[in-house]
Chains A and B, each alone.
Chain A
Amino acid sequence: MMAIRELKVCLLGDTGVGKSSIVCRFVQDHFDHNISPTIGASFMTKTVPCGNELHKFLIWDTAGQERFHSLAPMYYRGSAAAVIVYDITKQDSFHTLKKWVKELKEHGPENIVMAIAGNKCDLSDIREVPMKDAKEYAESIGAIVVETSAKNAVNIEELFQGIMIRTVCSSSLASWCWLCRRLLVSSELAAGLGHAAVPAVLGGVCLHRDSRL
C-alpha cells in the first residue's frame, strides 16, 4: 500500500482575488466565474501522487474580507503551508498579501511554507502589480512565487507541486532535526509524528512510514 502524507494548506489573501477558484481548479479542475464568496472557511482535499507516495492536500480556503481576518488563526493553525494569493490587476491585494505575510510570521506556525500566487494572470493587460515586485518580495521572505490563472489553469498544478516539494524538504529537515533530538528520548513519540521519508541527501537514513499509523 502506498504511503499517504497529509499536507495541510491554507489559502489567504484579499477578497475576490480568486482563492476559492484556485482551490476549485486544483481539486476539481473546474472554473466558475461566480463561485460563492467563502464565509468563515471551506475545506477540500486532494490526493496527488508523488514518487512512491500519495500526498493528500487538506486545503482550508478562508474568507477574504478583512473582518474575517480574526478567524484566520483557526485555519492556519497547524498548516504546513500557506498559499497567499493576490490579484495582479489590483495593487491593493498585494498590500493585503504583505499584511498576511507579516501575520504569519508573527502568529503562524513555525516553518510554514509560504507560496505567493499572483492570480488572474490571464488579465495581464490590466496588470497593476509587476511580476518583478512580486519576485523581489518573495525572495526577501523566502517564499515560492508563481503567477497563476485559475480560469485558464495556468500554473495551478505547479503551485501545489512547489509547495509539496518545499514542505517535504522543510518538514523533513525539521523532523530530521527534531528526530535527532528526540530519538534518544522516545522512539514511540517519533512514530506518532508520522513523518515520511527524509531525503537521503540529508543524512543517508531513509525512514519510511505510513502516515496512517
Chain B
Amino acid sequence: MVRDFQSVIGTEAREQMLAAEGRLPDTLVACIGGGSNAIGLFHAFLDEPSVKMIGVEAAGRGVHTGEHCASLTAGRPGVLHGNRTYLLQDTDGQIVNGHSIAAGLDYPGVGPEHSWLRDSGRVAYVSVTDEEAMAAFELCARSEGIIPALEPAHALAHVARLAPTLPRDHLLLMNLCGRGDKDVFTAARHFGITL
C-alpha cells in the first residue's frame, strides 16, 4: 500500500526523464529507512533491466559500531509490525535500537519488498555514515544552494562517491526526497554552530 501511494514519485520521474533526455536513467539512488521513498522511485523501473538501482541505508556511527540503522546491510530476517523482513535484532530476537542522525532513517526494520529486492539482487544496498551524510549536506547547500533533508543527504553522499567513476553521459537519478529546513538545528549542532 505504501509502495502504491509512493509510486507517483517513480512514475513522474520516468515521464520527466523521458521528456528531458529521451531515454531511461542508467542508475537510480535513494535513501532507505523504512524504504518508502525508495520503493516509490524504484517501482516504475523494476522491469527495466538496463536501470541499476541503489538503496542507501544509514550507517550512523559506522555499521561496525552497532549504532546504525542498516537493517539490510547488517540485520537478520525476522518478524516485526506484521512483516517478515531484515531487522536489527539480537540473537534472542529482541529488537535493537538503531541510530542515525536522520530521524527518518531511524527504524529497526525495512519495508519487506526491499528485503526481497536485496535477496533477488535486483537492487544493491549500501550504507553511508552520519559524517559522510553531513559532508554531502554541506556540499549540496554550498554548491547548489539547496538544503537537503538529512535523509536524502545519505543518498547524496553515495552519489558523490559514485559519480566520479561514471562516464559523463551516464544518467544518474537521485531522489531528493525532503528539504532540510526541518534539520537546521541538528545540522548546526553537528557543525558546532550556535544558532
A pairs with B:
no
